[in-house]
């Protein structure tokens, strides 16, 4: 984030922290409960300083992306978007995010991850195709806007007034798309750093300022994984349990398609990413080995939303399912899906 935007956020009572790798994180704006109430009743706007944007240009870009991700890119018209996985030949996840289709280019947009690794992976397969990939993240400022009144907020951004679900807008100065998380409309709005502070002023006039705590609460209740946190390169795409949203089983051949098709024919995976709610418990001995909660919401206290990869058989057992948070606390899992 630019220094002027950071200063502006501080004027809105942002609680900002610097994490170990010198990243700036806006934790909240003083009252997380108020932010959560606004998320469900009106709209919030959350700064996303580590958001990734990759431009894919060239006449062959749609066909190329179609061949190297799990969803049907060829069927996207300009102004449409979809969720995707990028996999290796064994269907192990390399990256996860969204592809936005524009008239002159496509964009890959992702939550924090390794943009250069994905670009390097895709570049290996460009032989004679007219395709170029460029990381735009350093020059971009991105906000997530979420809540039932999202359209009022998007109206303050050029090109956002008429956005519908799965639509996108790719212009010189702004890139955005809209989707649905946990039955709530969500939009990701990216602008040039030079206009980041002014864009914040416009959208924050119509939405409640919210931070990382609220954004990740929504992400976890949606079941949207973070690569490197909830899933790694050892996981196959169907283990993310985003199949209906991010995997097309009718698009034909693509890198990783055969293992994914075999898993589909089997009818299940042995392990997957589950979401649910958890409550801290003392009914487990410290030495007992348990599944590890990879993401937990910090917005709730007694019972909180969680994500964790675990055995499908264990999750479906009739006995109580226990797990452990990263800090070692034992939790009881309920409403696991």
Question: CB neighbours of 28 closer than 8 A, spacing ≥ 6?
Answer: 14, 15, 35, 210, 211, 212, 213, 214
- Here the tokens at position 278 are 């958890």
Cα-Cα-Cα-Cα torsion 190, 247, 255, 77, nearest 10 degrees, comes to -50
Interval 149-178: pLDDT, tens: 999 999 999 888 778 899 999 988 899 999
- Residue for token digits 């937990």? 296
The backbone torsions φ and ψ at residue 197, rounded to the nearest 5 degrees and listed phi first, read -65, -40
Cα 67 from Cα 74, distance rounded (Å): 9
Please list the alpha-helical segments (H only) found in the chain: 3-11, 32-41, 61-68, 115-123, 150-154, 196-204, 212-222, 243-246, 257-266, 312-315
Grade residue 64 by pLDDT with cuts at 50, 70 and 90.
Answer: very high
pLDDT at 21 over 70: no
Residue 190 has pLDDT above 70, yes or no: yes
At 28, the pLDDT band (50, 70, 90 cuts) reads very high
Confidence band (pLDDT; 50, 70, 90) for 102?
very high
- Inform me whether the pLDDT recorded for 317 exceeds 90: no
Q: Is the pLDDT of residue 143 over 90?
A: yes
Helices 3-11 and 196-204, axial angle in degrees (round to 10):
20
Chain-centre distance of CA 4, in angstroms?
A: 26
Per the rule left: phi > 0, alpha: psi between -120 and 50, beta: everything else, 206 is alpha
Q: How far is CA 252 from CA 67, 82, 101, 180, 255, in A?
A: 9, 17, 20, 26, 10
Predicted TM-score (pTM) of the model is 0.96
pLDDT at 286 over 90: no
pLDDT surpassing 80 at residue 23: no
Mean pLDDT of 209-213: 97
| Predicted confidence (pLDDT) per residue in 121-132, tens digit | 999 999 999 999
**Max avg pLDDT among 3-7, 22-26, 253-257:** 253-257
188-215 mean pLDDT: 96
pLDDT averaged over every residue in the chain: 94
Domain boundaries, the chain: 1-267, 270-337
The per-residue pLDDT for 19 is 67
CATH code, 1-267: 3.30.1360.120
Cα–Cα distances (Å) from 196 to 53, 59, 254, 325, in that order, read 15, 31, 37, 36
pLDDT at res. 287 = 73
Spatial separation of the C-alpha atoms in residues 91 and 254, rounded to whole Å = 10
What is the pLDDT, as a whole number, of residue 22? Answer: 64
* Poorest-pLDDT segment among 5-9, 55-59, 128-132, 224-228: 5-9
Q: Is 18 exposed, middle or buried (0-12, 13-18, 19+ CB in 10 A)?
A: exposed
> Over 90: is that where the pLDDT of 258 sits?
yes
């Amino acid at each position: 984030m630019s220094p002027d935007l950071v200063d502006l956020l501080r004027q809105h009572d942002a609680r900002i922290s610097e994490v170990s790798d010198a990243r700036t994180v806006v934790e909240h704006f003083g009252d997380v409960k108020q932010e959560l109430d606004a998320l469900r009743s009106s709209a919030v706007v959350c700064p996303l300083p580590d958001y990734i944007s990759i431009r894919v240009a060239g006449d062959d870009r749609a066909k190329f992306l179609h061949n190297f991700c799990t969803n049907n890119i060829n069927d996207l018209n300009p102004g449409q978007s979809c969720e995707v996985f990028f996999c290796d030949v064994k269907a192990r996840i390399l990256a996860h995010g969204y592809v936005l289709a524009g008239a002159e280019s496509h964009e890959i947009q992702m939550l924090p991850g390794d943009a250069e690794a994905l670009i390097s992976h895709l570049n290996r397969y460009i032989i004679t195709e007219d395709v170029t990939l460029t990381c735009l993240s350093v020059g971009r400022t991105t906000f997530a806007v979420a809540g039932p009144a999202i359209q009022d907020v998007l109206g303050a951004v050029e090109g956002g007034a008429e956005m519908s679900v799965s639509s996108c807008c790719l212009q010189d100065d702004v890139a955005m798309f809209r989707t649905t998380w946990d039955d709530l409309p969500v939009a990701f709005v990216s602008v040039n750093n030079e206009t980041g502070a002014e864009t914040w002023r416009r959208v924050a006039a119509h939405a409640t300022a919210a931070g990382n705590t609220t954004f990740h609460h929504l992400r976890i209740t949606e079941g949207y994984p973070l690569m490197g946190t909830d899933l790694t390169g050892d996981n196959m795409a169907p283990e993310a349990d985003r199949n209906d949203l991010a995997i097309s089983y009718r698009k034909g051949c693509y890198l990783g398609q055969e293992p994914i098709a075999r898993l589909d024919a089997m009818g299940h995976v042995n392990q997957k990413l589950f979401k649910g709610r958890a409550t801290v418990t003392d009914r487990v001995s410290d030495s007992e080995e348990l599944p590890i909660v990879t993401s937990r919401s910090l917005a709730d206290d007694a019972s909180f939303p969680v994500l964790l990869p675990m055995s499908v058989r264990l999750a479906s057992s009739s006995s109580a399912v226990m797990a452990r948070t990263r800090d070692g606390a034992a939790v009881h899992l309920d409403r696991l899906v």
